[in-house]
Amino acid sequence: MDTSWKHTTVLLNEAVDALFNNPDTEPGDLSAATHTYVDATFGRGGHARLILSRLAPQGRLIAFDKDPDALIEAATIQDPRFSIRHQGFSHLGELPRASVAGVLLDLGISSPQIDNPVRGFSFRFEGPLDMRMDTTRGESVAQWLATAETNQIAEVIRDYGEERFAGAIAKAIVARRQERGPISTTTELAQLVADTVKTREQGQNPATRTFQAFRIFINAELEELQQALEASLDVLQPGGRLVVISFHSLEDRIVKQFIARHSRDEYDRRAPFAAPRIMHLKALDRIKPRAAEVASNPRSRSAIMRVAQRTTA
């Protein structure tokens, strides 16, 4: 792994503070540091290292990540309180029920993934059209585009990229495939989209939404997020914290709706006198990066962090 691609952790202190700071505890109560926490998206370990610095000797941190490069970085942490699983966070539910005091999900992709041309995430660099978070399994974007039908491609671009020119882009991709063979590089795709999309928001590359859509689709990111959120209800202890940092509206909408759905008592309209289904979460906060963080790390500008607490019900 080339360490020249640096990553600046977004909302570093805010996220870890949200995991540990429980207003229900007595002043001076340090018991939170003795529990088990989950960093479900290790990345390059920014959040994980700060969590470890706040844990007591008997505390534990379990991390998840699909990226082989993340595992290489994790191997540099020589701390018996720390362990990492080469899995996506959809496997969160494999942990014992009510076994953790906090779950952190830092969604999206890291700067090293974006800036490394070999990973194929960025339209700014020439590289293979890959975009897999886990390069050891699954098919790349290039492999999928080599056989996908026009309507399939259009649906992905529209649903995951919210791209109004999805149909035109999909037709152009298939036409190019029929004329000259499949698209295999990031710059080929970026140029094709630029040639197809004639108007775009000021300052945004025409390929932005298409690249986002293919990345989310090929990694099943939204489906995995939904699975992890549901699993968090099982693995969190009463009073445990759920902290989620998202970077685009599709992710944040899922998180917002999940917390809202589980933060209210629900009544069965068919049985109005029956006891309501008790809420499982209490919504606590919505935090965005401060101006100083955005100025020093522009990639943080779209981040939204939502915090919820597991109820005792």
**Domain check: are 225 and 198 in the same one?**
no
**Domain check: are 22 and 92 in the same one?**
yes
Establish if 6 belongs to a structural domain: no
Q: What is the pLDDT of residues 209-255, one digit of tens each?
A: 999 999 999 999 999 999 999 999 999 999 999 999 999 999 999 99
pLDDT score of 276: 54
CA–chain centroid gap for 274, Å, is 38
Supply the CATH number for residue 142's domain: 1.10.150.170
Q: What is the pLDDT of residues 120-152, one digit of tens each?
A: 888 888 999 999 999 999 999 999 999 999 999
pLDDT score of 6: 67
Q: Which of 172, 202, 218 is the C-terminal boundary of a domain? A: 218
**Domain check: are 259 and 294 in the same one?**
yes
pLDDT score of 139: 95
**Domain check: are 106 and 229 in the same one?**
yes
pLDDT score of 260: 94
pLDDT category of residue 160 using cuts at 50, 70 and 90: very high
Top-confidence residue, 153 or 118? 153
pLDDT score of 30: 52
**What region, left, alpha or beta, does residue 114 occupy, with left being phi > 0 and alpha being psi -120 to 50 degrees?**
alpha
Supply the CATH number for residue 275's domain: 3.40.50.150
- Complete DSSP assignment for 232-249: HHHHEEEEEEEEEEE-SH
Q: What is the pLDDT of residues 185-205, one digit of tens each?
A: 999 999 999 999 977 777 788
**Domain check: are 80 and 229 in the same one?**
yes
What range does the domain containing 183 cover? 135-218
**Domain check: are 143 and 211 in the same one?**
yes
Top-confidence residue, 74 or 203? 74
Total domains in the fold of the chain: 2
Q: Which of 197, 218, 239 is the C-terminal boundary of a domain? A: 218
Average pLDDT over residues 63-77: 94
Q: Which of 218, 248, 279 is the C-terminal boundary of a domain? A: 218
What is d(CA 117, CA 127) in angstroms, rounded to the nearest whole number?
5
